Structure 1
Amino acid sequence: MSLNYQASGRRQAEVVETRWILHSSNHLVLARPSRTLFSFFMDVFVTGGTGTIGSAVVRKLVLDGARVIGLARSDASSKALRAAGASAYPGDLASPESWVGRAASCDAIVHTGATFGPEMGRIDRQSMLALKKAARHRKQPLKVIYTGGIWLFPPSGPHEMLTEKTHFAPLPAFRFMAETIRTLSNGTDLNLTVIHPALVCGPETGPIAAMTAALRAGEPFRTRASPDTVWPLVETQDLADLYLLALRQARFRQTFIGSGISGISAGHLASHISARHGLALEIVTEPTPAGAAPANDWEAGYARSQRVDTGHARRATGWQPEHSTVEDLVVALSK
């Protein structure tokens, strides 16, 4: 017979200890504890929990034993969150006063939400400032995982690799993120970790899915990139694993580039997909749309050629992405 227990009454991420109850003739004796698998005992608030990254993070957290509360703007979002095993908290990123109090009462918040509209920057900054204010009077700093992005970093040269120490040179549409990260980093109210995902690839999202869809439709793949543009890539579930590992880290102010593949040119990626399906895929480079405002033109990021060093996140957290080669990604996602 065994008894599982937590070392403290507060829900938190910790190693579960199993203690066997030994039977003596007249009494029970607790044996010495043995350390077993790492499990989550946390309340985690998630924004963007029905999006590409957020939904994968929610499912992983639930499977690991966390109590997940997802911000839900609609009935459809609430239904999706509940189906994933999370609870839904009604609110809107654009109205942070409706949810930051609840978020600040949790052990951690994972921020993956974004509106991708004209007010995206203002809404993100406003919501994070409100969260920081709400967390001001906590006994322990609020653990915050903030989602940045690879397009906060500059293009890299042919023999260069970007690292977490590379200075920001953000795409204009994401300049607000650099400002928000600086704001969140100030003070001791928040235990901040920033994750910068590479181009995220899933069965229905990202460049591999888009290239495959174009191939099957008998159309060229249209993109702002040229065939020589280099993209770092990460598979959705692998990225979600990194978020969970980051939640387990106790250190303050950590930054991780989340990339399973350091970089591959768009043309080379297209050739892999062509070979898998036995069909030719043409890449057509599209110009910047007429009248496009740089502050709202986030798709310009696809033209940014970048190669990254993937080592820091692996060394610091033990992250081991399953899809670490282009072949792995294409076989898994190009159906």
Structure 2
Amino acid sequence: MKVFVTGATGFIGTAIVQDLLQAGHQVVGLSRSATSSEKLKAAGADVQPGDLEDLDSLRSGAAAADGVIHAGFIHDFSRFKEVCEIDKKAIETIGAVLAGSNKPLIVSSGTALVRPGALATEDIPSEIDVHKFPRVSEGTADRVAAQGVRAAAIRLSPSVHGEGDHHGFIPTLINIAREKGKAAYIGDGENRWNAVHRLDAARLFRLALEQGTAKAKYHAVGDEAITLKTIAEIIGRQLNLPVVSIAPAAAADHFGWFAMMASLDCPASSQLTQQRLSWKPTHPGLLEDLNSGIYFK
């Protein structure tokens, strides 16, 4: 299968490209720079010059492909509403090219806000309030599916971890701990995150591309529930810093923009995904990666 991949040189995208190539697929990666193009060529992929705002480039890449994995996203939280709109337009543009073909289009979403405070499963519709969190990739994919595209969504864990993770939520917590001189959690720290290794997530994208059904939601989840207190304790031990509880009223002062994520309780299951796609996480869990020291080099 010839697969067009956006976000092909990102932390997850590079693993997706490698997994696709190892499975015998041909890969064309979207690239916005000469450096990214060289990385793709070195990996064995072809290059489609452009970026997520270059709609003509997206059309060209999608038109020549047997399927599309849309793993790209502009991680600029200072203009989050704007980049979510860019994401929406990118999915719509690719979907319009694939309309009526029943070709697969796999988009990225998240488990974190599906059902905060309770175990999120694949058959639960997301409860995200788009006015507060305007990323609408799932809903956009569903509308594209209605046009005759086998569009589905991968809900990624809030922590997609592994070697080379420099900008995810775990590095954010580590950087805050270094800056503040203490590793912290909010309240009793019993709020939970789910997590997945990047290589397990990459394989799930490929399996969804090959076997997925229209409008399906698949959970890239290896660890269902890890408390923030446990994460903070490992960070404190690795950095030789005190581990402290932060009162909820002081969370914004300590964590800044990250306070909402640091307080989120979002356990999630991947049981249905494992059954439907014969997918099973096999790589190290988050606590193993944290204890190994790869995040503290």
Q: TM-score, normalised by structure 1?
A: 0.73
Match of 1:249 among 202, 211, 214: 211
Match of 2:63 among 81, 100, 104: 104
Judge conservation of contact 2:186–2:262 (CA < 8 Å) in 1: yes
TM superposition shift of 1:213: 6.1
What residue is the counterpart of 1:237 in the other structure? 199
Q: Deviations over 1:101-159 (max 9, x none)?
A: 3213211110011113422121111111111221236xx42211111112341312xxx
Match of 1:309 among 269, 274, 296: 269
> Highest Rg: 1 or 2?
1
What residue is the counterpart of 2:136 in the other structure? 176
Distance in 1 (CA, whole Å) between partners of 2:64 and 2:186 is 43
What residue is the counterpart of 1:57 in the other structure? 16
What residue is the counterpart of 2:103 in the other structure? 142
Q: Which amino acid aligns with 2:111?
A: I
Distance in 1 (CA, whole Å) between partners of 2:228 and 2:40 is 34
TM superposition shift of 1:330: 3.0
Q: Deviations over 1:272-318 (max 9, x none)?
A: 4555x4834535756447xx9xxxx7873343211112211111112
CA-based RMSD of the aligned residues comes to 3.0
Judge conservation of contact 1:215–1:279 (CA < 8 Å) in 2: no
Tell me, yes or no, if structure 1 residue 227 matches structure 2 residue 186: no
Q: Deviations over 1:229-260 (max 9, x none)?
A: 31101111111111122222053332111110
TM superposition shift of 1:52: 1.4
Distance in 2 (CA, whole Å) between partners of 1:300 and 1:184 is 31
- Identify the structure with the greater strand proportion: 1
Q: Which runs of 5+ in 2 are unaligned?
A: none
TM superposition shift of 1:57: 0.4
Decide whether aligned partners of structure 1 residues 132 and 216 sit closer, same or farther in structure 2, where only a CA change above 3 A counts.
Answer: closer
What residue is the counterpart of 2:222 in the other structure? 260
Q: Which amino acid aligns with 1:127?
A: A
1:179-198 alignment runs, 5 A limit: 179-188=139-148, 190-198=149-157
SS in structure 1 opposite 2:124?
coil
What residue is the counterpart of 2:122 in the other structure? 164
Q: Which runs of 5+ in 1 are unaligned?
A: 1-41
Decide whether aligned partners of structure 1 residues 238 and 226 sit closer, same or farther in structure 2, where only a CA change above 3 A counts.
Answer: farther
Match of 2:96 among 130, 133, 156: 133
Judge conservation of contact 2:70–2:107 (CA < 8 Å) in 1: yes
Judge conservation of contact 1:149–1:196 (CA < 8 Å) in 2: yes
Q: Which has the higher contact order (CA 8 A, sep 6+)?
A: 2
TM superposition shift of 1:323: 3.7
Q: Which amino acid aligns with 1:309?
A: S
Distance in 2 (CA, whole Å) between partners of 1:50 and 1:70 is 8
Match of 1:279 among 233, 236, 240: 240
Percent identical pairs in the alignment equals 25
Q: Which amino acid aligns with 2:53?
A: A
Judge conservation of contact 2:28–2:61 (CA < 8 Å) in 1: no
What residue is the counterpart of 2:282 in the other structure? 322
Q: Which amino acid aligns with 2:85?
A: R
SS in structure 1 opposite 2:211?
coil
Aligned residue pair count: 281
